Amino acid sequence: MIFDYSYPQLEELLATVGEKPYRARQIYEWLYQHKVTHYDQMTNLPQSLRDQLSEVAPLTQLELATKQVSADGTQKYLFRLHDGHLIESVLMDFDYGQSICITTQVGCNIGCSFCASGLLGKKRDLTSGEIVAQVLEVERLAEVRVGNIVVMGIGEPFDNFTHLMNALYTINHPWGLNIGARHVTVSTSGIVPMIYQFADLKTQFNLALIFIPNDELRSRLMKINKAYPLQEVMDAVRYYVETTNRLLPLNTSC
Ligand code: SF4
């Protein structure tokens, strides 16, 4: 799907069909600002290019399966993917604006005992496009402009690192969804090598940690404590804070 392409990747794709880089900006604006649902609506692109793009990068949307609205106004969207899997995105209306919680995997392999997402294990990673499309689709369906993103839905984001980062770059890109990096928070259960990798990217995206304060309790609630004990996680967190000069919220739940 077209939403899988980060801006540089789209420029590369366009180069392979002999198009100039400026077409990438036109396409991004149609997708993320005008939120069109068909290539034929991209009226400043030649018909031949629209046809080629439909073939190699279809403009497919997430299919809404159900929507629930709770008493406090929180909206839960269940989307059906092309292979039938279901994923959830949650829109919350706070004093400081609309915030969306998005999903990065179908299921989860981490298996924290307090979380239903890990019960059946991971079925597959979401593509970058499937991650980005949740924000786009909820903005379209709810007719809101999302100001904050928390990557805390189903799945461990750092277990799908490449697709996650590609999606975040599109979410943050000025011609993409244009949501400031400081308004995007990625929550991890504590995959130590990926915390170092995330820190080394030196982006302005926020990191949050599902925090259990001692090894004994953490081992009981989170299997991941065996591979990455609390001390190693906190060393990685310290490295993240020192490398990025950013503070790190510690969550006590997902
Ligand atoms: S809390 Fe997060 S990491 Fe743990 S099982 Fe649930 S989705 Fe996976």
- Over the stretch 65-95, which tens digit does the pLDDT of each residue have? 999 999 999 999 999 999 999 999 999 999 8
Atom of ligand 1 nearest to the CA of 115: 6
Task: Report the CATH number that the domain containing residue 229 is assigned in CATH.
Answer: 3.20.20.70
- Show the tokens assigned to 85: 């899997």
* Strand ranges inside the chain, DSSP E: 63-69, 75-80, 86-94, 97-101, 105-106, 124-125, 146-151, 184-188, 206-210, 250-251
**Residue 114 Cα, ligand 1 centroid: separation in angstroms?**
8
Query: Residue 40's Cα: distance from chain center in Å?
Result: 27
Domain co-membership, 9 together with 104: no
Q: How far is the CA of 239 from the centre of ligand 1 (A)?
A: 23
In CATH, what number is assigned to the domain containing residue 33? 1.10.150.530
Q: How many domains are contained in the chain?
A: 2
CB-defined site of ligand 1, < 6 Å: 108, 110-112, 115, 117-118, 154-156, 189, 210, 254
Based on the fold, state whether residues 107 and 42 are members of the same structural domain: no
Co-location of 166 and 43 in the same domain? no
Note whether 119 and 165 are same-domain residues: yes
90 shares a domain with 204? yes
Above 80 in pLDDT, residue 254?
Answer: no
- Say yes or no: 115 and 175 in one domain: yes
Is there a single domain that holds both residue 14 and residue 101? no
Q: How far is the CA of 148 from the centre of ligand 1 (A)?
A: 21
Q: Are residues 131 and 222 in the same domain?
A: yes
Ligand 1 atom at minimal distance to the Cα of residue 254: 1
**Would you state the pLDDT for residue 119?**
84
Based on the domain organization, do 20 and 135 belong to the same domain?
no
Q: Is the pLDDT of residue 237 over 80?
A: yes
How buried is residue 188: exposed, middle or buried, by Cβ count under 10 Å (0-12/13-18/19+)? buried
Paired strand residues for 97: 94
Neighbouring-strand partners of residue 251: 210
Among 118, 150, 126, which residue's Cα sits nearest to residue 62?
126
Helices (H), 126-191: 128-142, 161-172
User: Domain of 25?
Assistant: 2-56
Q: How many CA atoms lie within 13 A of 243 on its CB side?
A: 19
The 3-state DSSP class for residue 251 equals strand
Are residue 152 and residue 208 in the same domain, yes or no? yes
Whether the per-residue pLDDT at 215 is higher than 60: the answer is yes
Is residue 52 domain-shared with residue 131, that is, in the same domain? no
Instruction: State the pTM of this model.
Output: 0.95
Residue 80 sits in the same domain as residue 166: yes
Residues in the chain: 254
Q: Give distance in angstroms: CA of 189 to centre of ligand 1.
A: 7
Q: Tell me the two tokens of residue 202.
A: 């030196």
Q: How confident is the model over 154-191, as pLDDT tens digits?
A: 999 999 999 999 999 999 999 999 999 999 999 999 99
